[in-house]
Amino acid sequence: MTSLADIWPPYALTLSTPRLTLRPVLDADIPAAVAAARSGIHEAGRSPFSTPWAELPDSELAPNMAQWYWRCRANFAPAEWTLLLGVWQQDEFLGVQDLGAKDFAVLRTVGTGSWLKRAAQGRGIGKEMRAAVVSYAFDYLQAEVAESEAATWNRQSLGVSAGLGYEPNGLFRHSWGSKVEEVQKVRLTPGTFHRPDWTLQVRGHEALKSYLGLEGR
């Protein structure tokens, strides 16, 4: 029988690290993602996200998250895409690591974003999952630059970036709702990447590569 991954190529992708499995969030995974977010992602009143989605009341959080997963899926196209990967440790859903690009065929630049439930933070998992998608981008998609950004006070996110060799790429003032946020942009290239001491295991790359029109790379 035809599987979902045969129909929708991004679904075939699975990235494995020593502790983690990263794979696209399926509809069946959304309840686990919502439960992880509801268990808490950050300190109350201190959203690390430009849109404070994790602070929505319970009744709005679930539909908002589901709609975001559907929107990224519906808008996924070679010209602009965001791959939302659920992060699993065995059967436990820990958070989401995303990898996205615009005009990738020309710019060969990817961006990332991520969150972990609080119970999973501070154990090197954020670094492991970011290393996974960056390794995938550099070694499989032949990306030349990986970018990220975080509020200047977000030591955890900037700690992950620094630990992997990202370099500062400018301070910007962004409007996060009605307030100004100082945002630190950071940038990584294959030459500055502090590679992990493990090798990423990848399944399902060929279908995604062809869907993105990256044949010949």
At its nearest, how many Å lie between ligand COA and the CB of residue 151?
7
Backbone phi, then psi, for 140, in 5-degree steps? -110, -40
Q: Which CB atom, from 20 or from 30, has the smaller least distance to ligand COA?
A: 20
Closest CB to ligand COA among residues 154, 205: 154
Give the up-direction half-sphere exposure of residue 81: CA atoms within 13 A in the CB hemisphere: 21
Q: Which amino acid is at 103?
A: D
Residue 172, strand partner residues: 183
Residue closer to ligand COA, measured from CB, 42 or 204:
42
Q: How far is the CB of 89 from ligand COA (least distance, A)?
A: 12
Shortest Cβ distance from residue 214 to ligand COA (Å)? 27
How far is Cα 167 from Cα 145, in angstroms, rounded to an integer?
11
Q: Which is nearer to ligand COA, 41 or 65 (CB)?
A: 41
Q: Residue with CB nearest ligand COA?
A: 126
Overall size of the chain counted in residues: 217
Comparison of 9 and 113: residue with beta carbon closer to ligand COA:
113
Q: Which residues bind ligand COA (CB under 6 A)?
A: 41-42, 48, 95, 114-116, 121-127, 150, 154-157, 159-160, 163
46 within 8 A of 54, measured Cβ to Cβ = no
203: β partners: 14
DSSP bridge pairs for 184:
150, 171
Q: State the nearest-atom distance from the C-beta of 161 to ligand COA, in Å.
A: 8
Pairing of strands 179-188, 145-151: antiparallel
User: Please, what is the minimum distance in Å from the beta carbon of residue 75 to ligand COA?
Assistant: 21
